[in-house]
Amino acid sequence: MQLGFHKRHPLDNVLAMKLLTSTQPPLRDILTHSIFDAYFVQGLDISSPAMLQSLVSQALDCGMDIQDGLENPKWEQVLNETTNEARERGAPSAPSYWIPDSRLPKGGRIIFGAERLHFVEGAVKSLEEPNTAIVPCPLPRIRHGPLKTQRKLTLFFDFSSPWNYLGWTQLGRIVEEMGPDLDLELVPTLLGIVFKEIGTPIEPRKAITSWQASEWNDTDMANWVEYWSHFPMADGNEYPVKLMWVEGPLKGKTHFPIRTPLPLRVACLKTEWNLIDAIYKAAWAKDLDISNPTVLSSVLTSAGYDPFLVEAADTPAARDALKNNTTRAVEAGVCGFPTFQVDGKELFWGQDKIDVVCDTLLGWDPEPVKPEFGRQADWGGMGW
């Protein structure tokens, strides 16, 4: 797939949207593909009426005059109406997919993002099911394990985010598939300092300015919890994920935001799977205040660890270890958590990138997009 940006991206696309609004299906579908290709593959100026006329002539193979679509106030009004319809249905941005379902309170569900097409597929399949739950459909994969050569996977993590926790709950999925040739490195890292260094809001949720985006964030999280809870692991079994959040379908969490320097320093002293898992579950499945030394000591004791680790975490050695890990993350280019790094090279941000992480470990080479024009995309995921 080719992808690139026009050198003046983003271009004004209002004329193109009005033109599409004035074009009836199935011609609209054909013309939409043509405009996308012109902009993101050929690097053409889709804000130009002359260019739009040329695209119509080529794509539709007809002499249709586009002036009515560009100048008639009727089509601008229709475009505004469809935009308002998307907003009222809860679309936070584009692309957003609306799947009608009269069984749901809103008469359907909105799903946002090109990387959520497996949810779209599952929502469509759910229309044939007795309940409204999204049917778990597999993420696209190119290769399948186990590994045949030694590979290293590094996980930069913090206990502060529900998306971090979701990524952690599925790390075992990667380990099981890859087998004994996987060298796993766990790196406790202070996310707040990473955000400060790269200029991101310390609590990104507070930067959300629309109810659509806020509601979608909560819904998306619930969708992922449901997905990972019902998508079988390598042994064929399902392992329910319990996660409490401050709003939305998973509402119930009271301790947020979480101050994590203390539990992260503990993890630096004892970077073991069971210890990290116990702290994560205490924070997100049980809603315990892991920043409280007494609570954290109890969590460690219950998991079979020496509670003295909490006291030891206040030493210069523990503080330096966390500082060094955080500096390493910033220098590596980490911009959010969870971040997976393969063989000390490629970085993958977000628990929704597990499929790409697995394919890369198994030999797929994620060569960077090389557009012949403009500048390259830098995509991210919701992994704060």
Tokens at residue 39, please?
Answer: 């902009």
Q: Which band of pLDDT confidence, cut at 50, 70 and 90, is reported for residue 1? A: confident
Say yes or no to pLDDT of 371 above 80. no
Helix axes 162-169, 273-284, angle to 10 degrees: 130
Residue 372 has pLDDT above 60, yes or no: no
pLDDT for 64: 81
Backbone torsions φ then ψ of 112, nearest 5 degrees: -110, 135
Q: Is the pLDDT of residue 245 over 70?
A: yes
First-residue to last-residue Cα distance in the chain: 28
Q: Strand, helix or coil at 153?
A: strand
Q: Which residues are within 8 A (CB) of 77 and not within 5 positions of it... i.e. 6 or more apart?
A: none
- Segment holding 178, helix H or strand E: helix 171-178
Tell how strand 346-349 and strand 182-188 pair up.
unpaired
Q: Which stretch of 58-62, 180-184, 248-252, 296-300 has the lowest confidence by average pLDDT?
A: 58-62
Residue 9: other Cβ atoms inside 10 A: 14
d(CA 249, CA 219): 7
Contact indicator for 251, 245 with CB cutoff of 8 Å: yes
Distance CA 43, CA 145 (A): 38
Q: Residue 339: what are its φ and ψ, rounded to 5°?
A: -120, 130
Amino acid at residue number 108:
G
Average pLDDT over residues 73-94: 96
Yes or no: say if 4 and 41 are a contact pair by the CB < 8 Å rule.
yes
**What is the distance between the alpha carbons of residues 224 and 221, in angstroms, rounded to a whole number?**
5
Residue 155 bridge partners (DSSP): 186, 340
Does the pLDDT at position 323 exceed 90? yes
Q: Write down the pLDDT at residue 369.
A: 53
b/e map 314-323, b = 16+ CB within 10 Å: eeeebeebbe
Token look-up 């935009």 returns: 83
Tell me the pLDDT band of 377, cut-offs 50, 70 and 90: very low
Number of H helices, E strands in the chain: 16, 6
Mean pLDDT of the region 68-92:
96
With a pLDDT cut of 90, the percent of the chain lying above it is 85
Q: Which residue matches tokens 């203390």?
A: 262
pLDDT of residue 365: 86
Rounded mean pLDDT of 94-118? Answer: 97
Could you tell me if 96 and 112 are in contact, meaning their C-beta atoms sit under 8 angstroms apart?
Answer: yes
- Give pairs for 72-78: CB < 8 Å, separation 24+: 72/22, 75/18, 75/19, 75/21, 75/22, 76/18, 78/21, 78/22
CB-based burial of residue 299 (10 Å sphere; 0-12 exposed, 13-18 middle, 19+ buried)? Answer: buried
Residue type, 13: N
52 with 46: CB under 8 angstroms? yes
What are the pLDDT digits (tens) for 110-143?
A: 999 999 999 999 999 999 999 999 999 999 999 9
